[in-house]
């Protein structure tokens, strides 16, 4: 017990309560479809535009145990002002026929080659209710994204 407390005090992520559920690892691919956007051009050729958009995501997730799910999400994204470290923030809600399953909040780098995004998962319904997780993603080079993540 003393060793466990020292590890927790050191900030290690091995501090799950006894009896906690192990993290559920996954990989995913997503394709998006723009619904609408309002975007103003950058004031200078090297500047950043301003605006926001609404889009859908179709996400195929493969879990470590081989289970595959396909769930659709609806998202809002807004471009961060010039001078900010990152390029955009987004929020999404994912649902199926039973209702909302989880929400996603994520941040992306300034657009460009190799752009990466990362975010938090918050379970709101179904088998995800009360769970949290995180993920990272990047472009798959075919107009979509791919990434990895986990649910606690």
- Report mean pLDDT in 10-residue bins for the chain, 152 residues: 34 45 92 94 87 96 97 96 90 96 94 84 96 94 88 96
In this structure, the number of other CB atoms found within 10 A of the CB of residue 84 comes to 13
Dist. CA 96–CA 67, nearest whole Å: 16
| 75-118: pLDDT as tens digits | 999 999 888 889 999 999 999 999 999 999 999 998 776 789 99
- Please give the pLDDT value at position 39: 93
- Please give the pLDDT value at position 122: 98
pTM confidence score? 0.80
Cα angle 143, 29, 126 (rounded to 5 degrees) comes to: 135
- Please give the pLDDT value at position 113: 67
Taken in order of first residue, the domains within the chain and their CATH numbers are 22-151 (2.40.160)
- Please give the pLDDT value at position 21: 64
Over the Cα atoms of the chain, what is R_g?
18
CA torsion angle for 102, 79, 39, 58 (degrees, to 10)? -30
């Amino acid at each position: 017990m003393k060793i466990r407390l020292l590890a927790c005090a050191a900030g290690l992520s091995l501090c799950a309560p006894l009896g906690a559920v192990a993290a559920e690892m996954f990989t995913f691919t997503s394709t998006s479809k723009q619904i609408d956007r309002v975007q103003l051009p950058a004031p200078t050729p090297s500047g950043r535009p301003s605006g926001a958009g609404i889009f859908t995501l179709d996400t195929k997730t493969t879990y470590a145990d081989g289970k595959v799910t396909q769930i659709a999400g609806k998202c809002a994204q807004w471009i961060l002002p010039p001078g900010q470290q990152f390029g955009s923030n987004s929020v999404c809600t994912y649902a199926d026929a039973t209702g909302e399953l989880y929400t996603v909040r994520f941040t992306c780098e300034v657009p460009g080659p190799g752009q990466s995004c990362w975010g938090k998962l918050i379970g709101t319904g179904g088998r995800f209710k009360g769970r949290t997780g995180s993920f990272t993603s990047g472009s798959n080079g075919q107009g979509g994204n791919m990434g990895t993540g986990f649910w606690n």
